[in-house]
Amino acid sequence: MAAQLLNGLEVAQRIKESVAARVGEMVRARIKPGLAAVLVGDNPASKLYVNSKVKSCQDLGLHSEIYQLSANTTTDQLLSLIKDLNQRNEIDGILVQLPLPPQIETRTIIEAVDPAKDVDGFNPVNVGRLVRGEESLVACTPLGIIELLDAYQIPIAGAQAVVIGRSDIVGKPMALLLLHRHATVTISHSRTRDLAAIARQADILIAALGRAGMITGEYVREGAVVIDVGMNKLTTEEEIDRILPRSEHAKRLEDLRKRGYTLVGDVEPRSVLGRASWLTPVPGGVGPLTIAMLMKNTLRAAELRRGMKAEG
């Protein structure tokens, strides 16, 4: 029996509708949550991400500002902007789009963002609060995955969860969120011995490595829930043939002709669909939830900063 697909687009839309309704209530009370997005340099992918986030703000009724800085910006110049945004009361969330140019000290910038406005959940203060299970702003992608599991009523408490990937952005906060929901969590990575054997222990398998199609059916226990966080570009017909099921080939080859690539995750759907009970598609799985949770984090930051009861 083929795995059922976890529709991240539908869940993200429900989250956005909830945020929009709550923002409407706050606006009527003369409070308008605001997000400042900071983009340094001319990375096309970063521009696309920032623009989509600002558009989501506009769609949901949040105030948004975008700061486009040159690729030659220094750490001190960016720090000066962050300091100004920290002090502005109408800005509830600050998003610094990563990666930053090499001359900028990324860690210094992350630490400079006011934890109360850190809607990415990267500041060490918020990371520490997450470790302790305290009220905090949490990284958007792992938070969205929890929302997705809850939306489909997939049990977390008592489950064996395996997270493949140990990044500060996804792997580590994902493991902590699952742990706080009473899962038994294993963090694995590219240097884990017999990674496939570890992965096969999972009731919930989170793949966040950044390697196209690496997680095959060999890594998946029969009936497991598989969450694919990867976002990788395939640029040849041979790669499409190797990773994707035949039913998707026509659409993906059309993507290849139009854009020069098609997006896939870290999971090889061709072999995993027959083993998993649930699987997130790429695109349309985890990706839409990341932006939805950024909007929710901005709303939450606005509520917490004003001593209001946070939604969810």
The answer to the question of residue 66 being in a domain is yes
Number of CB atoms found within 10 A of residue 215's CB: 25
Spot the catalytic one: 92, 114, 118, 120.
120
- pLDDT score recorded for residue 82: 98
Residue 95 — very low, low, confident or very high, per pLDDT cuts 50/70/90?
very high
- pLDDT score recorded for residue 48: 87
Same domain, 275 and 167: yes
Same domain, 71 and 174: no
Joined together, the tokens standing for residue 230 give 């990867």
Which CATH number characterizes residue 230's domain? 3.40.50.720
193 pLDDT exceeds 60?
A: yes
Spot the catalytic one: 97, 117, 172, 203.
97
Same domain, 58 and 155: no
Percent of the chain with pLDDT over 90: 92
**120 belongs to the catalytic site:** yes
Question: 210 by DSSP, 3-state: which?
Answer: coil
Same domain, 179 and 107: no
Residue 148 — very low, low, confident or very high, per pLDDT cuts 50/70/90?
very high
**168 belongs to the catalytic site:** no
Integer Cα distance of 11 and 30 in angstroms: 29
Note down the domain range covering 159. 140-289
CB 141 within 8 A of CB 170: yes
User: Model's pTM, two decimal places?
Assistant: 0.94
- pLDDT score recorded for residue 310: 57
Nearest to 280 by CA among 147, 160, 181: 147
**53 belongs to the catalytic site:** yes
Same domain, 147 and 51: no
Burial of 210 (0-12, 13-18, 19+ CB in 10 A): middle
The answer to the question of residue 72 being in a domain is yes
Spot the catalytic one: 53, 117, 172, 296.
53
Same domain, 180 and 221: yes
CB 83 within 8 A of CB 70: no
Which stretch of 27-36, 118-127, 222-231, 300-309 has the lowest confidence by average pLDDT?
A: 300-309
178 pLDDT exceeds 80?
A: yes
In the chain, how many domains are there? 2
Integer Cα distance of 203 and 198 in angstroms: 11
Integer Cα distance of 131 and 125 in angstroms: 10
Integer Cα distance of 173 and 142 in angstroms: 7
311 pLDDT exceeds 60?
A: no
Integer Cα distance of 274 and 157 in angstroms: 25
- Helix residue ranges per DSSP H, the chain: 8-28, 44-60, 75-87, 106-112, 124-132, 140-151, 171-180, 195-199, 237-243, 249-259, 269-272, 287-305
Q: For residue 287, what is the DSSP state?
A: H
Taking residues 217-221, what's their average pLDDT? 97
